Each structure stands twice: as C-alpha cells, then as structure tokens.
Amino acid sequence: MTQLRKVGIVGIGITKFGKHLEKGSRELFYEAAFKAIEDASIDPKGIEALYFGNAVGSVLEHQAHMGPLMAEGLGLRYIPAIRFENACASSGVALRDAYFAIASGFYDTVLVGGAEKMVTEKGTLEVTDALALGADNLFEYNAGLTFPGLYATIARAHMKKYGTTEEQLAMVSVKNHKNAMDNPNAHFHKEITIEDALNARPIAEPLKLFDCCPISDGAAAVIMVSEKYFNKFETPIEIIGSGQGSDSISLQGRKDITRIVSAEIAARTAYKMAGVTPEDIDLAEVHDCFTIAEIIATEGLGFFKIGEGGKGVEEGETQKDGRIPINVSGGLKAKGHPVGATGVAQVVELVEQLRGEAGKRQVSGAEIGLAHNVGGSGATATVHILRR
C-alpha cells in the first residue's frame, strides 16, 4: 500500500444537542463549523474541501444538495463540497473519506462535519418514517418494522442466546444519563435509576422509553490537516486508524443478528492500521442508539468476549472510572442523536478528552480513543482511532 501521510484534527465545534425550534440544519452547521474554525485559529480561505454528513434532510427539511449549501453559508462557495448519506453513519463515513483525501496528499486542510434537523412540528411519526429509510423498505418497513422494532428483535435474540437481561440494558441507560450530567451540550441533563428505566413505558419489548435515544437537532464539525501543518498547532490529535464495513441492510439477510459484523470488520481494519489492540484503548464513544447496541458494540470492538457485554456493564467496567470507559459524553442515549452529526460528534468528544479539556467528565490519562459509528441496524459502520 502507498505510504499515507499523517492526518490530525486541530479544530472542533459542536452545538448543544436537543430541540432547536428556530434553527434548521444550515444554521446549526454554521454554528459548529465556525466554532471549529475559531478553535483551530485558521483562515477559512485555507479550507480546500467540505465533507458533510446528513441523513434525512431531504425528507424532513425538503432539502437535498446540501454540500454547496453549507459551503456557501460559510463563505466557501467555490470549494468542492460533498454531502454523505449513510443513515446514522453519514458523518463517520464523511470523516473517513476526508481522512484519505488528506492522507493521500490531495488536500492539506479540510472541514468535516454533519448536521440534522429532526424536531419538527409534524412530530415523532414523521421522523420515524424518515429514519426508516435507513432500513429495508421492502422487507422490513412495509412489514411494520421501524428501528425500535429492529433493535428489539436484536435484543431478544441476544437475551435468548447469551442471557443478557433487561436490568443490564437499564444499567447502560443509567450510566449514560449520569455521564451526560457533566456534558453541557447533552440533550438530557437528568439522572435516572434502574427502577425508572425498568418501569418506563414500553416502546418495543423488551425496549422501553429509556432504552431508546431521543430525537435531537444538532451539528458537529472538525478541521483536519496533514502532518505538513502539525507544527503550527499546540495539540494536534492524530487519526491513527480508520475502518469501514458493510452488511445486509435487513436483519433477515444476516447469519447472526446478535452481532454487528460491519462494525467488527471496521474495528479489525482500524486496529491493524493503528497498530493497537482493544487493550490499548483508553476510552470509546460507541453507537448506543438503543441500549442493546452499546452492549453489542463493546463485544464487537473486543472489549468483552461475545455475549459478555451485559456482564461488563453490570460489573462497572464501562463506567468513567472503569477498565474501559464507554460513552462518557452521555452517548447517543443521553447526549442525543441528530443522526447526520453523530459520527463527527463522537470524534469531537474524543478530541476534548485527548487534549485533557473535558472538564468533569475527563478520563484521567487518556491517550488513545475510539469512535464507533453505525448506520441503520448495522448495514454501515465506521471505526476511528485517535491518539494524543
């Protein structure tokens, strides 16, 4: 393989996740992007390309062709600007493509981000309908399965095969709500108890209200540069591993629905590229759109043996002070999940952690972090490994 240049992140920006009734995705992204530019202390005129993730803007905002739209509002009208759509992994995929554009020598400075406007006056049903575009329309959605039902099916299979319990699912939610209390940009700032989670109204059994991530608005952005410019910045955070995998878009096409094989493939690629193992990771931001998804993620990433992720949560190993801190930001579950922004938002959290700037949620001594971003029920997945 051709020798790749080193790539680093030198600027980060994020909005508060939650309800932004007076803002659309463009206003949200401008806010995050300008924060990233300011954080990097660069001249915007030096940005050579924009890589932008957005999943459902075509439906919920009736706005496609978002790449040039976002570039123009930032004063970057003439640069190449690309929108990426890979369901909830849209900006994770955008970041990976931007990484290779820089690593290959084509660009030196790029802006990468994502945004989603999901809270509308039309309500939950329309958002659910839009998100279902990331599943198999013919064999799943037309049969009545939306994402809560798909992940409930996955949860039931995992419980039957490995003995995972509803209490363990609840522990994921309790942990992430507690972590979000220290994240000023999180959608929820409310701690919950195991009893709260177990007694909440059912959404799709065994998943209850607190097992499901919220509908959120928000945006996130990063400035990425080649090693050529590392010495101009005090704390460039290097991307040392990048992986991506795919799988059947529908659950019926998979041999084992208790595993997200696309993420396992992405993780193997990223670990090999970075020259590290799961034991070297100091913290991880994983795609916990539902509590069962966090458990499966920790298994697929090699932090626990397959089938033992629930046990790991129960034993406290994924707490902020545990063996492998997971979702200290609050995760999608409590930080929020504006789907097009999520992949880059995970990376923003890691950069803050690796810089030592995460405040009360700081993981002591963190040097290597991992971001795990999944699209749909696992048809797409990216894994990125960052190092201070």
Confidence of residue 3 (pLDDT cuts 50, 70, 90): confident
Residues linked to residue 53 through DSSP beta bridges, in sequence order: 84, 114
Q: Which residue has the tokens 């005129």?
A: 45
pLDDT tens per residue, range 298-307: 999 999 999 9
Strands (E), the chain: 7-14, 49-53, 81-84, 109-116, 202-204, 207-208, 218-226, 237-246, 283-285, 368-375, 380-387
Mean of the pLDDT values across residues 349-378? Answer: 97
pLDDT above 90: percentage of residues in the chain: 95
Residue 231 to residue 168: CA distance in whole angstroms: 46
CATH level 2 (architecture), domain 1-388: 3-Layer(aba) Sandwich (3.40)
pLDDT tens per residue, range 138-183: 999 988 899 999 999 999 999 999 999 999 999 999 999 999 999 9
Contact 184, 175 (CB under 8 A): no
Residue 204 to residue 360: CA distance in whole angstroms: 34
Whole-number pLDDT of residue 2: 67
Domain boundaries, the chain: 1-388
Residues linked to residue 51 through DSSP beta bridges, in sequence order: 82, 112
Residues in the chain: 388
Over the chain, what is the mean pLDDT? Answer: 96
Mean of the pLDDT values across residues 39-64? Answer: 96
Residue 143 to residue 138: CA distance in whole angstroms: 8
8-state DSSP, 367: -
Residues linked to residue 221 through DSSP beta bridges, in sequence order: 13, 113
Whole-number pLDDT of residue 124: 86
Q: Which residue has the tokens 């915007």?
A: 44
Q: Which residue has the tokens 């990063």?
A: 222
Of the candidates 73, 101, 96, the one whose C-alpha atom is nearest the C-alpha of residue 84 is 96
158 is catalytic: no
**Please, what sign has the CA dihedral across residues 195, 197, 202, 207?**
negative
pLDDT tens per residue, range 108-136: 999 999 999 999 877 888 998 999 999 99
Contact 291, 172 (CB under 8 A): yes
DSSP string, 293-316: HHHHHHHHTTSS-TT-HHHHHHTT
Cα maximum dimension of the chain: 56
289 is catalytic: no
Residue 151 to residue 145: CA distance in whole angstroms: 10
**Whether residue 1 has pLDDT greater than 70:** no
Of 20, 287, 337, 384, catalytic: 337
Residue 292 to residue 151: CA distance in whole angstroms: 7
Of 20, 88, 212, 213, catalytic: 88
**Whether residue 286 has pLDDT greater than 90:** yes
Of the candidates 334, 326, 322, the one whose C-alpha atom is nearest the C-alpha of residue 297 is 326
